Structure formats: structure tokens, C-alpha cells
Amino acid sequence: MHKHLLPLLTAALLAGCAQKASAPAASTTPPPASAEPATQPAVPINWQRDAEQFLTAYSQQYQRLYTQSSEAEWRSNTHIVAGDTTNSAATARANEAFAAFNGSAENIKRLRELLEHKAELTPLQVKQLQTALYNAAGSPQTVADVVKRRIKAETQQTEKLYGYEYKYQSKAVTTNDLDRVLREEKNPQKRLAAWEASKAVGPTLKEGLLNLRTLRNQVVQALGYPDYFSYQASDYGMTREEMMQLVRKINEELRPLYRELHTYARYELAKKYGQKQVPDYLPAHWLPNRWGQDWSAMVDVKGLNLDPILAKKGAEWQVKQAERFYQSLGYPALPAVFWEKSSLYPLPAGATYKKNNHASAWHMDLNQDVRSLMSVEPNTEWYETTHHELGHIYYYLTYTNPDVPVLLRGGANRAYHEAMGSLMGLAATQKPFLAGLNLVDPKTQTNQTQTLLKEALNYVVFIPFASGVMSEWENSFYADNLSQDQLNARWWELSKQYQGIVPPTARDEQYLDPATKTHINDDPAQYYDYALSYVILFQLHDHISKHILHQDPHATNYYGNKEVGKFLRDIMYPGASADWRQLLREKTGEDLSARAMVDYFQPLMTYLKQQNKGRKYTM
């Protein structure tokens, strides 16, 4: 049962610290007839002092409850036992306490009062207060019952998603197993079976997701946001319409290159699977990824196949090597707690519990307790992922400093966090970098065009999925209240429009294919973060390669370069206390734009147009 356990802040603090001085005791001697009436001047309110006192008390309680919530969530994500509700109940209690604090009516009232005087406050105080008010909209206690029901529903949805037992060829399998089939299997029927197995979890999540839409919208509407998607977009200082305009612009800028990649993939995959008839649109099970968001496994670049070498080195080597990379740039060794408490590898065979199979990085206490949840295996995909995840970890550690208050220990915007991780993943897979680690022979001849093609099938192919399918579907779902009898139809309509992908068989409304994407359930209405992160990633890489390393952007080696490390730390250090637009402009000399990404892949356009000469374009 929910209990409002948190007095949160002292009554004196909530009431405000500034008070008028008490009037003096009445005099027994009447004043002279000619004297003016005695008045006591009001003591001017020191709003900066009041704000600082409020923020100090608020931040201490926020950090304590955040940590408790993180610990409970960690347990729920790393130790999932079918039928055991112990973790979910503990997580719900911790999240309810955190939500009650963030959204308390007293806090909201005081935050608004202080922000009415923001002209008299420091910019850092204003930023903290605005962040706290944004957080409050996620769990306003003016609708405490709705918040409680949302938290419970989210916990239950997470357990259903990650506790699901996938079956392939009558055997229980993991999503890693299904991904391996889609990367390697050449038999279309076996691919179809694996793809369908990966979507089987969808129907079990439909009722919960519809309930969550209602609850998420109701919660943020209590503080004036029209819908949950609008609330998430506002974290960038943008309206929902402005965010959708931005992601559509990015998609359009990359559309010509994607069109060439789509045409190339249709013909190449038809040949691979022995199909005489080239389809106008890509059947989803032909692609080496469950959602068609990454096609890079289509291409093996001779001389750059790391799997045999990584298999010999083992999974632990990959994580340790990623740490060594960051240390070479001037970052410190990871704290001991990372190695003691992270969950880095697949569960052993016969384990009596499951864990979340999606890689993630955690800042447990907004201080030094940083952890990662992964299932690292010794292969190229996990090699890149370990570098990515440690990018998040080092971002946490860098903005955990005396100049960044607890409330602003986040990325400059949400996309910056992903950009840092993805940037390091890209850097760690370029040939000069790999050669420096003896993962490839520097004398090995590699095909630069094929390398660029493989990268485009990762980075470029992702954009229409992230900025198109995911963003448009969640925009429809939350803002337009997409009808429950159109959920799957809308998903596949968008997949065809943006990705040129169609389902291999009829997928009516008994399915819920969007819900098979984890973020739809547990990280909702912000998938455009990833699209924007790729744009930022290429802007940063363009600057590093041309202005720091003075190397070809397609063949760089960051390893050991302290100037690169300083450039990145300068971006990481202020966390969310910096204005993200200004930071990007100062560090790269330009505003957010796909220009650098388009330029990077420009050499590939000539090759693809030659390959696609005489072929039918369908997008």
C-alpha cells in the first residue's frame, strides 16, 4: 500500500525563508502630535539565498530517493524470476517514494514561486529549478493515484517484456540467439521462423501498453502538457511540432543516400536468398536485424572480420580493452564498484532467473556508483557495444564534479549521451585504430568502399527507423491517440513509407510488433534521441578528424590522443548545466545539421549509383 512517507522539506523552507521583521512592542508614551506614524521597513527578499537553501535541501532528498529507486530498478532488471513479485513490489515502493517527492504539491508550488523571480536568480539556479519542475510533471502528486498506477503498470510491463520465454525450433532461446540466426542464416524459412519468434512477445504487451498510454498522458497533463510526447520533447526546449519538424528534416537530408542503399539491398538480398523476383519492398525477415534498423551484417569487409580474433580473446577482454581506450585519452580507470556490481555477461546455463537483455549504463547514485548491464559475447557487435556503453559511464563520471549540481548531472541533452557512446563505438572500429591494437594486420588490404558501405548500412539505415518509424508511431500513439485497432497497421505503414520494409506475412491487429521494441515499453516517446545522437556524433567526429587529428574521417585513430580526450571532456564536463545548442556551436562551429553525416558518406554515393544502374527504384 502506498504511503506518503516524505515530509520532504521543512515547513519553514517550503513556506519560504524570507519573512518580515517583527513589529516593535507598542510604546506607552504617545508620539509627538507632529510626528509621522512609525513604520517598520520590509526586509527585502533575497531570492538567490532562498533558492539556494531550497535547492540544497531538495537535492539531498532527490539524490537519496533517486539512489533507492535505481537500486530497486537494478534488481528488477538483473534478477527476473517468473511468478516472483518480490522485486516488482520493492521497485514499485521505491519509485512511488521518488515520484511522491518529485511531484509533491508543496515542491511544485515552491518551484513555481521561485521561478517567478528568475530574473533575480543565477542562471545555474534557474536551470536547476526548471529541471526540478520538469521532473515534477512526470509524477505530480496532484494526481497521486494516477502516478501510482503508472508506476505499477510500468513495472509489470518490464517484467512481461524481459521475462518472456522465446521459442525457436521448439527450444527456448534468447534474443541473442535469434539475432544470430538473422545475421547468419541463409535459409529464408528458418529466417522467417526466427523473425516471427522475435515478434511473439508483442501480443502479451498490448493491454499493458494501452493502459500505459492513458496513464502517461494523464500524468503530464496534470501540469499542463498536452500529451506525453510533448512532455518528452520539451526537455530539448522544443515543442512536439518543432521536434517532429527537426527529425523529418534530418530524414529528408539523408533520404537520397538511403534510397540508394534500399535499392542495393533489395537486389543483393534477392540474390543471396536465391529469389529470381526482386521485391519492390524489403521483406522484414530478409534483414539481419529484428526491426530493420541495422543492415551492416550484410557486408563482410575482408581483413576487418574481428570475430575469430575476438573469440580467442574472450568477452572480458573486450570490456577491459574499452576501459584501456578511455584511459589512453586521459580518463581515469573505472571505479572498483563498476567491476564489483555491474552485470556484464550472459547468465550461466541453467540459471534460475533472467535478466534484461538490452545493453544499458547506469548512474546509480548520481555520484561514483556507475554500472553497466550487458550480455557481452566475444564478437564484433559486442566489441562496439562495450565501447559505446563505457562512453555513457565516462560521461557520468566526468560531469560528476563540484561545478555541476546533482540535478544537472545529465547530458547536455539526451542525445548527447548517445552521441558520446556511438562516437567511441565508431572510433574503435576504424582500421587504423584496430591495427594499433593488433586486431587487424596494418598491411592487410581492405576495401574502403566496402568499409564505408558497412558503416552506412549501420548509421544511415538507422535514421529512417529512429526519426521516421519510431518517432512518427509514438507521436501518433501519444499525441494523436492512435486507435487500438490501428496500432500494427500504423507501424507497418510507417515501415513501408520510411524504411521500404514490409512484413513477410499478414500482420493484423492480433499482433503488436512495435511493442517488441523495448523502448516502446520502458523508454517511451524519446527514440528520436538516437537519431539526433548520430547527427551529433558525425559533427563531433568531423571536427576531431579534421581539426585535431588531421586525418581522413574514414581512417582515424583516436587511441592515446590526449587532445581528443580533452575535447571530449570539455563537452562532457558541464553536463546539463550547459545550453546544448551553444555547446555544439562552440565546439564544432555549426548548429545541429546532418551536413557532416552526408559529407562522410558522399564517396559511397558514386559507388551505389553505379551498382544500381538499370535497377528499379521503389522509394
167-197 b/e (C-beta count within 10 Å ≥ 16 → b): ebeeeebbbeebbbbbbebeebeebbbbbbb
* Least confident among 8-12, 60-64, 143-147, 470-474: 8-12
Highest mean pLDDT among 183-192, 295-304, 434-443: 183-192
pLDDT at residue 517 in the model = 97
DSSP 8-state assignment for residue 167: E
Length of the chain: 619
Which of 454, 93, 125 is closest to 261 using CA atoms?
454
2 band by pLDDT with thresholds 50, 70 and 90: very low
Q: CA-CA distances (angstroms) from residue 347 to 49, 80, 155, 377?
A: 51, 12, 22, 11
443 band by pLDDT with thresholds 50, 70 and 90: confident
44 band by pLDDT with thresholds 50, 70 and 90: confident
35 band by pLDDT with thresholds 50, 70 and 90: very low
Please give the Cα distance from 140 to 219 (Å, whole number): 7
pLDDT at residue 41 in the model = 62
Please give the Cα distance from 143 to 218 (Å, whole number): 8
Which of 458, 548, 532, 482 is closest to 209 using CA atoms?
482
Strand 501-502 vs strand 282-283: parallel, antiparallel, or unpaired? parallel
Q: What is the rounded average pLDDT of the residues 52-71?
A: 98
39 band by pLDDT with thresholds 50, 70 and 90: low
Kindly report the average pLDDT of the chain as a whole number.
92
Report the percentage of the chain scoring pLDDT > 70: 93
All structural domains of the chain with their residue ranges: 46-164+202-224, 240-611
Please give the Cα distance from 346 to 177 (Å, whole number): 12
**pTM beyond 0.75:** yes
Cell of residue 324, nine digits:
584501456
- What is the distance of C-alpha 76 from the center of its chain? 19
Which residue do the cell numbers 580474433 mark?
A: 309
Domain 240-611 has CATH 3.40.50.620: no
Q: What is the rounded average pLDDT of the residues 143-151?
A: 93
- CB-neighbour burial class of residue 589 (10 A; exposed 0-12, middle 13-18, buried 19+): exposed
Angle in degrees, 0-180, between the axes of helices 528-543 and 414-427, rounded to the nearest 10: 50
Q: What is the rounded average pLDDT of the residues 345-365?
A: 92
pLDDT tens readout for residues 380-406? 889 999 999 999 999 999 999 999 999
CB atoms within 10 A of CB 550: 8
pLDDT at residue 293 in the model = 98
pLDDT at residue 435 in the model = 93
Q: Which residues contact 173 (CB under 8 A, 6 or more apart)?
A: 166, 167, 197
Which of 470, 479, 442, 322 is closest to 390 using CA atoms?
322
* Phi-psi category of residue 169: left, alpha or beta, with phi > 0 → left and psi -120 to 50 → alpha: left
pLDDT beyond 70 at 224: yes
pLDDT beyond 80 at 3: no
pLDDT beyond 80 at 17: no
Cβ 157 vs Cβ 147: under 8 Å:
no
Which of 528, 517, 526, 494 is closest to 157 using CA atoms?
517
Amino acid (1-letter code) at residue 150:
R
Beta bridge partners of 360: 373
* Least confident among 79-83, 283-287, 333-337, 534-538: 79-83
pLDDT tens readout for residues 104-120? 999 999 999 999 999 99
pLDDT tens readout for residues 523-570? 999 999 999 999 999 999 999 999 999 999 999 999 999 999 999 999
pLDDT beyond 90 at 287: yes
Decide which of 242 and 92 is more confident: 242
128 band by pLDDT with thresholds 50, 70 and 90: very high
pLDDT at residue 42 in the model = 67
| Backbone phi and psi for residue 357, each to the nearest 5 degrees, phi listed first | -95, 10
